[in-house]
Copies of this chain bind each other. A is one copy, B any other.
């Protein structure tokens, strides 16, 4: 059975991406990163619950705490506030330098070890926070790079099933595939209930609204 390494944060997008990989006939190798982000514990919990739901036994939980040393992002530096006043054009302060480049590079090493032929990543280009490492153009270039930098017999494709979807389409597709969205965590803040006002919550709620559905996770202030 052909294998795919699925980068799985435990959020809505990466979870749907992993379900799509499974539906495409891949045996899944799940890859999660603890990178010192505010919501590290929440995301890890979601990751584990989704792996259990999908019956994935090949799991990598990789610690890369150096992102906290690098800082400069509201997600990894507690001194920088997470913006709550709406998604703006441009690269926001929640951008973590070259995060997906690093994730994809590590996924490549895992894929080469596992003999996988694909890496799934749930990046969204247009309907997103505007991170440069979520662009289709970057992913295409990176696919070339990882194939040049690995053994000749290693042939990898990076599959981004969500890259040109809207958040509404993502919710619709997730519900169609019976993805347990109530297990996923999107909020940038580390609280018991989702804040509802950070960019990630706003994008998620927009998706549910566009899909005409109700999000089942608890939000602060009954959002």
Contact = CB atoms under 8 A, between A and B. Distances in A.
Measured as residues with beta carbon below 8 angstroms from the partner, the interface class of chain A is 35 or more
Chain A at the B interface: mostly helix, strand, loop or mixed? helix
Contacts of A83: none
Contact of A113 (B70, B91, B110, B113): B70
A97 B151 CA distance: 8
Interface stretch (A43-51, A135-143, A161-169, A189-197): A135-143
Nearest to A96: B109
A145 interface: yes
A180 interface: no
Interface stretch (A9-17, A99-107, A171-179, A209-217): A99-107
Contacts of A71: 113
B146 A144 contact: no
Nearest to A104: B105
A105 B69 CA distance: 15
Contact of A102 (B69, B105, B135, B138): B105
Given A97-B113, A138-B145, 9 more contacts: A71-B113, A91-B151, A98-B109, A98-B149, A101-B105, A101-B145, A102-B109, A132-B150, A133-B149
